[in-house]
Amino acid sequence: MSSSAPQPGLAQPSGQVSKPSGQSLQAEFDTGIWYHLCLWPALKVAVENHWGGPTSADKRDWFAGAVSDLFTERPDTDQLDLESVLLQVMQDEFDVNVEDESEVAVASGIMKLRSQVQEGDVRGVQEVKERWEKRKGRTEKVNVVEHKTGENGDDFDEDDEDDEDEEDEEDVEMGDDPPQLIPVKEKQQPEIDDDGFQKVVSKKKR
């Protein structure tokens, strides 16, 4: 998908501006979706840290196309539907659980853009492009919390008071508030002692 939004309308000899065609409006909407996803700190962190693998950037572009296809295949998609899709893709494709509810703002922005484009108004695309251009050079501190599985099979999060390694914090560009992201790790195998019994370690010592 192109990273630059087309300019709305074409000037006619008479000085009037023609109404964008349906195909042009769809292209504008697709571009706007891409910008909204690029502005999502959660996705930006995931892409920069390659949590979706070496092709994380390509997955982000595919993500934008998948959101566009969602509206084509299911025109009745509402904001709650979109929020669920955003979270599901982040987990399935980037192994990340987003817990800061930032998907709400992303979904809201895309839904608003959709309404505008349906009315032939593509100014929202230019606005989100300008936001992206202003924020792409900004740096923020993002806290990353690992999601671990205990040896007894229970999920738990490390105590906030535990010492954190410096690598647990990534400097990334763009955004106002640090999103709380949880990369989903593979389940750890239980430890077996010399007598063949499974070791059980208390949560506080993990």
Would you say residue 126 has pLDDT above 50?
Answer: yes
Would you say residue 33 has pLDDT above 90?
Answer: yes
* pLDDT at 22 (0 to 100): 78
Range 28-40 average pLDDT: 96
| Domain presence at residue 84 | yes
Range 172-199 average pLDDT: 51
pLDDT band, residue 122 (cuts 50/70/90): very high
Give the phi and the psi of residue 150 in degrees, each rounded to 5: -70, 165
pLDDT band, residue 148 (cuts 50/70/90): very low
* pLDDT at 137 (0 to 100): 59
The number of distinct structural domains making up the chain is 1
In whole angstroms, what is the distance from residue 140 CA to residue 205 CA?
A: 31
| Domain presence at residue 175 | yes
| Domain presence at residue 1 | no
Would you say residue 188 has pLDDT above 50?
Answer: no
Beta-strand relationship, 96-98 and 181-183: antiparallel
| Domain presence at residue 16 | no
Q: Read off the pLDDT of residues 80-121 as tens digits, 9 standing for 90 and up.
A: 999 999 999 999 999 999 999 999 999 999 999 999 999 999
* pLDDT at 7 (0 to 100): 43
Task: Tell me the one-letter amino acid at 14.
Answer: S
CA end-to-end distance (rounded Å), the chain: 44
| Domain presence at residue 15 | no
Domain that holds residue 58: 22-205
| Domain presence at residue 11 | no
Q: Which of 158, 152, 156, 155 is nearest to 191 (CA)?
A: 152
The DSSP annotation for 82-126 comes to: HHHHHHHHHHHHH-EEE-S-HHHHHHHHHHHHHHHHHTT--HHHH
Q: Read off the pLDDT of residues 163-172 as tens digits, 9 standing for 90 and up.
A: 444 444 444 4
| Domain presence at residue 14 | no
CA 45 vs. chain centroid, Å, equals 9
pLDDT band, residue 195 (cuts 50/70/90): low
Q: Read off the pLDDT of residues 39-48 as tens digits, 9 standing for 90 and up.
A: 999 999 999 9
| Domain presence at residue 88 | yes
* pLDDT at 196 (0 to 100): 62
Averaged confidence pLDDT in the chain: 74
* pLDDT at 50 (0 to 100): 94
